[in-house]
Chains A and B, each alone.
Chain A
Amino acid sequence: MDEKRNQILETMRTQLSERGIEGDKVQFDATLAQDLGLDSLDTVEMTLGLEESFGIEIPDSDLENVATVGDAVDLIQRKLAVGA
């Protein structure tokens, strides 16, 4: 389980680093808005990338409860479990 979580975290790190956000800032407890400085547009763009990488669909309504990197990782994990 933890391995999967780390794998998702790594994917997020890679994608966010392409958008100029330092990898070591991307930790499970980091908040998207304050710690990473993502605005609402960044969050939608990040979701697009994650949907593509993991072959899942994340409705905008699911994003409402995503405040930290860990929340996003959990959400992706749930979507992957449903798809499996």
Chain B
Amino acid sequence: MTDALTGGSAVDRTRNEVVVTGIGLITPIGTGTLGFWSALMKGKSGAGPISAFDASGFSTQIASEVNDFDPSDYMPAREVGRTDRFAQMAIGAASLAWEEASGSKLSVSPERIGVVIGSGIGGLSTIEKEHKAFLNGGPRRVSPFMVPRLMPNAAAAAVAMKLGLHGPNYAPASACATGAHAVGEATRFIREGITDVMLAGGSEAALTPLSVSAFARMGALSTRNDEPARASRPFDAGRDGFVFGEGAGVLVLENRRVAEGRGARILAQVAGYGASADAYHVTQPDPEGKGAALAMRMALADADARPEDVDYVNAHGTSTPYNDRIETLAIKNALGQESKRIPISSTKSQLGHLLGAAGAVEAAVCALSIEHGIIPGTINLEEDDPDCDLDYVGDGPRDGAIQVALSNSFGFGGQNACLVLRAV
């Protein structure tokens, strides 16, 4: 299996190892690593009635919003006015991660520090606002900042400008897998020796009347409006869709030699990355989860790890009827008999679905789980679904040393990205 996935050649053990030295999180359950982890351990839900706009009359009236984010904590007022909320959150998360990694003390040339931060959707609220101005006042009423505010690569650009980083810089876009692709792609730059340090992650702030309407029309969103905290229930028989979320997650990735050389605090290693396509349907997963399983196998092969080595799976676990059933199949397919032993949880039960930010936040969850030796739980798991018959850690966080964690992310478009994080 390993041979087929690596083109017949074994993993190159001389390549640069990549470690996580800083994490920045802006999420519906907390900002900053400490606040986030404490809320995650308490089983806190970030969901509530939508406050961003008047959602009465919408089939879905709940979301997982970030209510305590003030962009001026991270950037001058002038930059606030020039950026969309998704880019502001990315700057916030990148600033927190950079601070945690003591990035300002790095003696690495800015040319060898890059940024890969993506967004599933980009600046949708900007588009809606300017479209309104256009309809009301014609072409001349459209802001000249519309394009630089809305473009999905604005976040990565803004982070580079703020920190003065000249290395490779772009934004992957793979819907709900964006954050995981970003971490995986950034890892490759360091492995290949192109850069020594990368800021990698995802950001999403697309909670608008239009997007909630659109996702609702797809039947993707939970309509459990009366009980927002119980609406995201991955792997539970009563799940009825995901809870729309917003937020950002950025990781500082570093060449292990550089990190050790400067005595940096190392949280975990990014040991493996697998990416695949279902090539099946634009929104429905492959019925057997073949693409998802392939990405998991690729990530494990890349990490030179076997299913027996895996101590924790952070599932994509969106709480849609489809995803959780097919992901269960895919995990069984990829991990075989071991799938019954391995604790699996979906932190989307607490966070909601952060779309393009989800994969990065969940990679951070894996790094923190490894550091703390605790497996986060899946909240709201109350009624068994016969199609979801693995160990989803429904009884709250669980103590357990983690050597190897697998993080799954699957995007609309059938685009899958899996990461393996390992204890250092």
Asked if A48 and B141 sit within 8 Å, CB to CB, the answer is yes
Whole-angstrom distance between the alpha carbons of A57 and B80 in the complex? 27
A window 3-34: CB within 8 A of B? 18-21
Asked if B143 and A48 sit within 8 Å, CB to CB, the answer is yes
Interface membership of chain B positions 116-158, coded 1 if the CB is closer than 8 angstroms to chain A and 0 otherwise: 0000000000000000000000001101110010000000000
Whole-angstrom distance between the alpha carbons of A40 and B80 in the complex? 17
Whole-angstrom distance between the alpha carbons of A45 and B78 in the complex? 13
Question: Distance (Å) between the CB of A21 and the closest chain B CB?
Answer: 7
Question: Distance (Å) between the CB of A3 and the closest chain B CB?
Answer: 29
Decide yes or no whether A67 CB sits under 8 A from chain B.
no
Whole-angstrom distance between the alpha carbons of A72 and B397 in the complex? 62
* Chain A residues whose CB sits within 8 angstroms of the CB of B141 once the complex forms: 48
Looking across the interface, which residue of chain B has its beta carbon closest to that of A60?
A: B140
Question: Distance (Å) between the CB of B208 and the closest chain A CB?
Answer: 22
* Chain A residues whose CB sits within 8 angstroms of the CB of B148 once the complex forms: 41
- Say which size band chain B's interface belongs to: 10 to 19
Looking across the interface, which residue of chain B has its beta carbon closest to that of A37?
A: B78
Decide yes or no whether B382 CB sits under 8 A from chain A.
no
Question: Distance (Å) between the CB of B235 and the closest chain A CB?
Answer: 47
Decide yes or no whether B164 CB sits under 8 A from chain A.
no
Question: Distance (Å) between the CB of A29 and the closest chain B CB?
Answer: 21
Decide yes or no whether A80 CB sits under 8 A from chain B.
no
Decide yes or no whether B4 CB sits under 8 A from chain A.
no
Partner of B144 from the list A18, A21, A37, A45 (CB cut-off 8 Å) is A45
Of B79, B80, B81, B144, the most chain A CB neighbours within 10 A belong to: B144
Asked if B143 and A21 sit within 8 Å, CB to CB, the answer is no
Decide yes or no whether B76 CB sits under 8 A from chain A.
yes
Question: Distance (Å) between the CB of B413 and the closest chain A CB?
Answer: 32
Decide yes or no whether B77 CB sits under 8 A from chain A.
yes
Residues in chain B within 8 A of chain A (CB atoms): 76-81, 140-141, 143-145, 148
Residues in chain A within 8 A of chain B (CB atoms): 18-21, 37, 40-41, 44-45, 48, 57
Q: Closest 5 CB pairs between A and B?
A: A20-B77, A20-B78, A44-B144, A41-B144, A19-B81
